[in-house]
Amino acid sequence: MKEKIIQFGEGGFLRGFADWMIQKVNDEADFNGSIVVVQPIENGMCDMLTKQNCVYTHICRGVEGVEIQKNNTISRCVKPYDDFEGYLSLAENPDFRFIISNTTEAGITFSADDKITDTPAKTFPAKLTQLLKKRFDLKLKGFVFLPCELIDKNGENLKKCVLQYADLWDLGDEFKAWIENENIFCNTLVDRINTGYPKDEKIELDYEDNMINTSEYFHLWVIEGYSDLFKEIPFDKCELNVILTDKLEMYRTRKVRILNGAHTSLVPYALLEGFDTVKSCVDDEKMNEHIRKCVFEEIIPTLDLPKEELIEYANSVLTRFANPYIKHYLSSIALNSVSKFKVRVLPSITEYIKRFDKMPETLIFSFAKLIEFYRTDMTNDDKDVTAFMKTASVGEILKNEKLWDEDLSYLESEIKKYVD
């Protein structure tokens, strides 16, 4: 197969989402394309993937049954921190058309400390700009970007960061025009509960696989702004739930506020209470009531889609949470909880106050539990964020506009009711 896709990120989500789909279009249609994975951080799982020739097993499980897929879409891995020149050489292949990424919500960011001479630059957009400059210098075509980071307008924000680096590094007007005219940055939305390696169960296979990946059956990829995508990647020939639209926002708001908002408003509280998986929370009366109050009483009332549609979607989310095959560890969802709370839960809090002129008590309680959670040693986040949250007062945390993009001091008295 031709190498057609560069993928930033080797984690379980992309391997169980985008790579799972690419395997299907290779098997069932005429795409005939493989993926080169770039490890965007210094320490990752590419060595483990390479050790088994980048072949791994993905298993979908749910009330629908069990589907086992042997995935061979990844041709090789590239590690910029070990082989920067090998990374830049990806720019030389004219067959590369798509760039997929998932570097978490905190991944699409700009830092004035990055330099074009760094090998590599620190942030994902800076690394990407280094690759794009090489591509431009070779006078080759640009790329179609399908970022999977869960931030609003992820494609537009990625493009904005690249252009900021172009200015910072004085790469010239011709390069910026090439970015604008020869590259397509799609805004996308992804939805699938991916549970990664099955830690506490034995999967019977006829071969050894240390990179087994698991997920639910449900999947949704909404892509905005590229109407000819299906002509290049025939998702539509494989019964995949990939939607091309010019109105992504309505899908994004529903998903981020309800599904992701339910996760993020639950996880710190549940971890503090000693729970370990999403299903264990759904099965517990107190935790189930907490989720339902958050979703049905405080999140859905802030959304403008038809109420029946929102309730139907919310019920499907709770069904997915209760999937008996899924052991979705709360500790995995807890990664970068502060930035997730800002994106997933805070908008519901502020909109609820705006609409009803009162506090959403259960979501405020969740905010308090987030603060308590960061005072423990269970967190997994940027070291500066972790250090600040662990020692700062409630008032200092709420005033920190770097964390929330606004001063939240007006919530202090309510949140203090629940913080120990």
Do 308 and 359 touch, CB atoms closer than 8 A?
no
Q: What is the largest CA-CA distance in the chain?
A: 61
Rounded to whole angstroms, how far apart are CA atoms 128 and 120? 10
Copy the structure tokens of residue 378: 């269970």
Q: Which of 28-37, 308-317, 351-360, 410-419 has the lowest mean pLDDT?
A: 308-317
Hey, which residues does 221 pair with through a beta bridge?
190, 242
pLDDT at 38: 98
CATH architecture of 2-245: 3-Layer(aba) Sandwich (3.40)
Only one residue has tokens 């749910």, namely 62
What distance in Å separates the CA atoms of residue 8 and residue 125, rounded to the nearest whole number? 11
Block residue for tokens 């957009």: 125
At residue 335, the 3 state secondary structure works out as: coil
pLDDT at 367 over 90: yes
| Residue 368 CB-half CA count within 13 A | 16
Q: Which of 108, 103, 106, 45 is nearest to 77 (CA)?
A: 45
Dihedral sign of CA atoms 296, 297, 299, 302 in order: positive
Q: What is the pLDDT of residues 83-92, one digit of tens each?
A: 999 999 999 9
Q: Which amino acid is at 18?
A: A
Tell me the C-alpha distance between 317 and 319, whole Å.
5
Q: Do domains 2-245 and 248-415 have the same CATH topology?
A: no
* Overall CATH class of domain 248-415: mainly alpha
Give the DSSP letter string of 119-159.
Answer: TT-SSHHHHHHHHHHHHHHTT----EEEE--SSTTHHHHHH
pTM of the predicted structure, to 2 decimals:
0.75
Whether the pLDDT of residue 65 is over 90: the answer is no
Could you give the C-alpha distances from 145 to 156, 185, 390, in angstroms and in order?
10, 5, 37
pLDDT by residue (tens digit) across 145-197?
999 998 889 999 999 999 999 999 999 999 999 999 999 999 999 999 888 88
Q: Where are the domains of the chain?
A: 2-245, 248-415
